[in-house]
Amino acid sequence: MVRHHQEARFESEILGRLYTAEIPLSAPELLAALGLSKNHRQEVLGVLDDLCRRKVLSCKRDTFALRKSVEVFAGPISVNPKGFGFVAFAEAPADLEIDQDVFIPPGMLGGSAHSDRVLVLLTGRRQGRFEGRVLAVLSRATTRLVGVYMAGGHTGLVTPEDARFPYNLIIRKEDSRGAKNGDAVLAEVTSFAAGQRNLDGVILEVLGNPKDIQVQTEMVIRKFDLPHLFTQEVTAQVEGLDPGVKMSASRTDLRRVVHVTIDGETARDFDDAVAIEPLKNGFRLYVSIADVSHYVRPQTPVDVEAYQRGTSVYFPTRVIPMLPERLSNNLCSLVPGEDRYTFTAVLDFDEHGNRLAKRFMKSIIRSRHRLTYTIVKQILTDQDATVRSQYGDMVADLERMGRLALSLENQRGKRGSIGFELPEPLVVLGEDNTVQTIKRSERNQAHKLIEEFMLAANEAVAEALEEGRIDSLYRIHEAPDPLKVAEFTEFAQSMGLKVDDDGGSPKWFGKVLAMAASTPQEYIISNLLLRTMQQARYSPLNLGHFGLAATHYTHFTSPIRRYPDLMVHRALAASLQKKGKGKLAGEPVSSEEAGGFLSKRERVAVEADREMVERLQVHFMADKIDETFEAIISGVTAFGLFVELTEVFVNGAVPITEMRDDYYELEQGRHRLIGQRSKTVYQIGDLVRVRLTSVEIPRRRINFSVEEKLARATDLAQAAPVKRCKARKKRATDSL
């Protein structure tokens, strides 16, 4: 058995080396390239002879190469926990017409794990899809993993929490770091062998009891490899920063301008403050942003660390900041009553929200109040006399802000800006560190006010970047795939909506959303329209922002928690000093490279946050087996339904195996399951009552069965219950 595994390892390594070498290699060259001693010569020659007999290799003049007739290609593999996988054809042969990922059947993974880059041999075609087997792992995506330790005698076993890693780790007692039975751990694979179920490994860190929510947070941090500790060098640099705020010739004194911050009750860092002044026929808006670039200079230790993080990650249980706390919560935080360095956008608008002028300056401000969304709502919407009296010095300014924000929102609506409703979970933790509930955050006029002002500043800065030909990053959002739009149009028309065929513009999207507004169709239409959209990303090219219907857009307003904003600050500041043309001043990488890297870091943060919420959801639901809930169907597949509970923000699935009253088949184009005998229809957007049947904590799965159907998505008479599913938008500058 050991010999078999060794031969399999040699075969995998030989094929991988010959594929990457792209030229014939001799046996001695292969031994050297693989780092093997002459003691392995006979074994390697045996493997080479076998590959030649199987006509995988061409063997001429004592050299070896992959045969041209062998249909192989390389790409990343996505492994399913059930033991099969799919490989993307990033490097498929030019003469093969491969239009979808190649299926790797169970038993053909060749020791690969999720996201590894693998070499695949095509073995055939079934039902229009190519199949193959993994010949070699060209590079490992990860050698570290989070798992649960099971103690033994002289050895223990770590089972990866992620089922896409098809192996366990054998841990010698001396490599266990004192882990106890059932502890969550971070472990590392020390040796790979193709096809082996158990690999050698060591424990790097003991995280603790996986039932503890804080330990769950640590597990997510390690799983996504989120940098969470600052080095001594970074800490020392930040501790040595001068806390004094001094006026200079390069700054404008705006301390007399009445700035305030408006954030959530639990916010700890305040990176934006706003102020307003009346003009003869309009308003002057000040959007002042913490001047992080004053403290974080290019290529210093704290800058290098911030770039590698790319963004702060906000879990319900804790924050993984981009910058050390002395910066994010102290020197750069616009706390009331303290002078702070800022970068200010001064924007003049007429009374209808049309921008008349823009200018930018390094500044110093002193915030008057730390307001919350609730306080502003009480002043503007609730007209609470007590609160209005308490903040009497701000009432007139807040009312002006409210009028301007409404005008800005109307202007965006006229040009076609799309008003998606994106659910945002609010996890409420108890004193005993358990999840009390998970609900949808409320969205009020104060949220809209700040969103509009941040959007306005971001657009104005983006225009300035292009006008000045300043090398920096734009926040771009490209138009959706026309094929996806056409598929959606066909579905919407089948739902009875009079949707134009020539769709795809932002105005068209807005028109469709308006048609469905305040009906049960609103959920399904918003959900499916959102799926047609592309992901927003960072780019040095100004390609516009489709979702906002904006010709120019960037991220300027959150440099404490987003590195692209810091880059924009530096570029804009350099232009104000007549140094803005050409490469970003002092930046170690090109804006193109930075855009790609920082977009990836953002996606990692989003995925980590999503997984953390899933973990909290399963812990919250674990003791509610057999309870029933009202839910809306959020997705339909051949494997069953996905549902979203209406009273608490929890998602789960109804496996088709639990739908035993009939045999259901998928009608994919219309996103519904139809019972063959009863003709019962379950469609995305339908309201149902479900019963919780099981919670699989390690796999983060919440399973339900359908108890009864409450309302059809197309039944307009049932509009009221569905309205409860609406949720507030994320802060626009976060999601866009």
Phi, psi of 354 (to 5 degrees): -80, 130
> DSSP string covering 543-589, please?
--BTTTTBSS----S-TTTBHHHHHHHHHHHHHHTT--BBSPTT-SS
**Closest C-alpha among 362, 369, 394 to residue 253:** 362
pLDDT of residue 186: 97
Confidence category of residue 82, pLDDT binned at 50, 70, 90: confident
pLDDT in tens, 491-542: 888 777 788 887 788 888 888 888 877 776 677 788 788 888 999 999 999 9
**Closest C-alpha among 394, 366, 364, 367 to residue 378:** 394
CB within 8 Å of 162: residues ≥ 6 apart: 114, 145, 146, 223
pLDDT in tens, 635-672: 899 999 999 999 999 999 999 998 999 999 998 777 88
| C-alpha to C-alpha distance for 134 and 337, rounded to whole angstroms | 63
CB within 8 Å of 610: residues ≥ 6 apart: none
**CA angle (66, 67, 72) in 5-degree steps:** 70
| C-alpha to C-alpha distance for 475 and 599, rounded to whole angstroms | 10
| C-alpha to C-alpha distance for 569 and 563, rounded to whole angstroms | 10
| C-alpha to C-alpha distance for 716 and 495, rounded to whole angstroms | 12
pLDDT of residue 724: 35
Which parts of 647-730 fold into alpha helices (H)? 719-723
Read off the pLDDT of each residue in 458-481 and give the average, rounded to a whole number.
95
According to DSSP, residue 477 is labeled B
| C-alpha to C-alpha distance for 518 and 508, rounded to whole angstroms | 18
| C-alpha to C-alpha distance for 344 and 138, rounded to whole angstroms | 50
pLDDT in tens, 110-124: 888 888 988 888 888
Tell me the pairing of strands 168-172 and 313-314: unpaired
621 torsion bin: left (phi>0), alpha (psi -120 to 50), beta (else): alpha
Confidence category of residue 1, pLDDT binned at 50, 70, 90: very low
Helix (H) or strand (E) holding 402: helix 395-415
pLDDT of residue 731: 43
> Residue 316 pLDDT > 50, yes or no?
yes
| C-alpha to C-alpha distance for 435 and 548, rounded to whole angstroms | 35
| C-alpha to C-alpha distance for 658 and 672, rounded to whole angstroms | 16
pLDDT of residue 3: 47
> Residue 17 pLDDT > 50, yes or no?
yes
**Closest C-alpha among 504, 505, 524 to residue 516:** 524
Domains along the chain with CATH numbers: 2-66 (1.10.10.10), 72-139 (2.40.50.140), 144-210 (2.40.50.700), 234-476+539-611 (no CATH), 482-533 (no CATH), 622-735 (2.40.50.140)
> Residue 726 pLDDT > 70, yes or no?
no
Q: Which two tokens stand for residue 132?
A: 């193959």
**Closest C-alpha among 607, 613, 630 to residue 690:** 630
